[in-house]
Homo-oligomer: A and B are copies of this chain.
Amino acid sequence: MSTIQDLPLEDVLAEKPAVVNDFQIMIATVNGSGSQTANTVLLRAMFRMGIPVSGKNIFPSNIQGLPTWYTIRLSKNGYTARLEDYHVLVAMNQQTAADDIANLAPGGACYYPEEWNLKHERDDIVYYPMPVKALTDASDVPANLSSYIANMVYVGVLATMLNIELSYIEGALDYHFNGKAKPVQMNMKVVQAAYDWAQDHLAKRDPYAVEPMNATEGRLLMDGNSAAALGAVFGGVTFAAWYPITPSTSLIDALREDLAKYRIDPETGKATFAVIQAEDEIGAIGMVVGAGWAGARAMTATSGPGISLMTEFAGLAYYAEVPAVIWDVQRMGPSTGLPTRTSQGDVLTCYLLGHGDTRHVVLLPGTINEIFEYGWRAFDLAERLQTLVFVLSDLDLGMNLWMSDPFEYPDAPMDRGKVLTAEDIERAGRFARYEDVDGDGIGYRTLPGIDHPLGAYFARGTGHNARAVYSERPDDWVENMARLRRKWETARTLVPKPVVDQVSGAEIGLIAFGSTDPCVVEARDQLSARGVMTSYLRLRALPLEDTTRRFIESHERVYVVENNTDGQMASILHMEYPDLAPRIHSIAYSDGLPLSPRWLTAAVLEQEGR
């Protein structure tokens, strides 16, 4: 086994006191090597120590053998944005090791398999070789299974070197394997061996360490896709149709699991739901629209390419006024783009999806809690408004683990919207599907199967009058579109309001949405440290409502921060508020990774000319 090398690190370390609970770990592996368990166990162990953490998986679009990076950020201040720097590197991928090491922050620690016989080229970092092969070989796990647990070596080594009590690791493993003793034990054996080895062989020469805190009590750690699925279950979803696509697939996987758990009829053992894997996204949304029309709470989940394929049906649902929920877990576009990288690039697309004069309600959750909430609330909105509701998540929110407060039970019964019964029609003596009885632009609908001679109507994407009869009359068209406009105004009053932190005296406002929230939160602190006070409005839905107008009016300059190339939300604000457009500026960037606070701070300072 390796001996400890002596490096002239003193100059670096001398200046650096211990850095506790405030750094980033980067674990570089290849995909298919099973590191995901090791990484999330590490993350969860520190979370259970009470330390605010966040983890991001940067993985390739293939199944096996390509570089994958996992970052774990610890932040005693509770920041969860992506840091550009990393301070502790676990280099498990020889292919990328040179780059990985080159980018390690000065003073950082580099763990790597000693089999590499790595040349220690940088003298401003600490190298820690790990006997990965030796330790796995030495484990009493059956030989054919030993490679399964190789990654546990770095878990054990890091536990020693960062000062993580093994009980936390064991707890995390227990959580990961759902309490199954055998895999927990087998993995723990390797962890323990590595831990012991490190105790004996490695001397701590870098400043990075963890310490228990009390900042995660009562919080949970979950990925957005799982939260969305759970939300949908509590939203009473009865129908989901989908077609697999990264990064939305795990949403439906979770949904199927949750439904099987919580929505099997106890009396009959049968399903109170159906989940259908369609042959493509046109099929998926078509099924969902059919189900929504028939009265179900129906949803699909997809990503950009699927959204593109749903364009025509989105227009039909808009114009025939069929409720359904579409989750777009965004990835990089245009086109197939980067299937395993994050972006907020579908904002304009979803908002306007469909040819002709089409415009959709879009929810923009920014936290795991909100994702859960919109998971059920989207159905209420869709049925109330009788239209599609898009929920925009993204790969970062959807597939990475985030801290969250516990989920809150829906605060009201399900709102099934305006659905007439046979009795209602009997009483009224008439029924006109698209009549604006209440002045809110929303007609009353009936469901197939209603037992009344006047109960049926004919849904279609072609021009129709208030009685749902085919019509090419100019006035019918104009009236119908005017009613849809009124419905849009109603939607403004029903969608979630933005979250505003208005700072008195702040000249500039920041507007953001979705997964960029952690970045904005941290950058605002950095900016304020530089003397730039900012207000902050986090959009949570389209159409916009008046809070946003007032926010913009009350700042001289407003920067719209988003993780795409074209500044799509800024464009929407420009087109919705032309009178305010000159003060609305875009700060947009997209390279596949979550936005970093350092970048945002610099971008704002630059635009502010500071």
Which residues on A are within 8 Å of B, measured CB to CB?
Answer: 60-61, 304-305, 307-309, 311-312, 315-316, 318-320, 332-341, 343, 345-346, 348-349, 352, 354-359, 460-463, 472, 474-475, 477-478, 481, 485, 564-566, 568, 570-572, 574-575, 578-582, 584, 590-593
Contacts and interface: CB of A to CB of B under 8 A. Distances in A.
Nearest to A566: B357
Contact of A304 (B61, B356, B460): B356
A533 to B, nearest CB: 24
Contact of A337 (B345, B463, B578): B463
Contacts of A348: 352
A481 B305 CA distance: 18
A305 B575 contact: no
Contacts of A343: 356
A349 B574 CA distance: 17
B338 A477 contact: yes
B477 A332 contact: yes
Given A61-B472, A571-B575, A590-B357, A315 B335 contact: yes
Given A60-B472, A474-B592, A579-B581, A315 B333 contact: yes
A60 B470 CA distance: 11
Which of A348, A461, A570 has the largest number of chain B CB atoms within 10 A? A348
A345 B338 contact: no
A66 to B, nearest CB: 8
A542 to B, nearest CB: 14
A277 to B, nearest CB: 19
A135 B591 CA distance: 76
A408 to B, nearest CB: 32
B481 A590 contact: yes
Nearest to A281: B312
A292 to B, nearest CB: 15
A569 to B, nearest CB: 11
Nearest to A588: B357
Contacts of A341: 472, 477
Given A462-B336, A574-B574, A574-B581, A564 B357 contact: yes
Instruction: Return the 3 tightest CB-CB contacts between A and B, nearest first.
Output: A333-B356, A335-B461, A581-B581
A166 B312 CA distance: 50
B346 A307 contact: no
A390 to B, nearest CB: 12
A14 to B, nearest CB: 34
Contacts of A575: 570-572, 574-575
A332 B474 CA distance: 11
A441 to B, nearest CB: 14
A354 B571 contact: no
Contacts of A319: 333-335, 337
A26 to B, nearest CB: 15
A68 to B, nearest CB: 11
Contacts of A338: 462-463, 472, 477
Contacts of A571: 575
Contacts of A345: 355-357
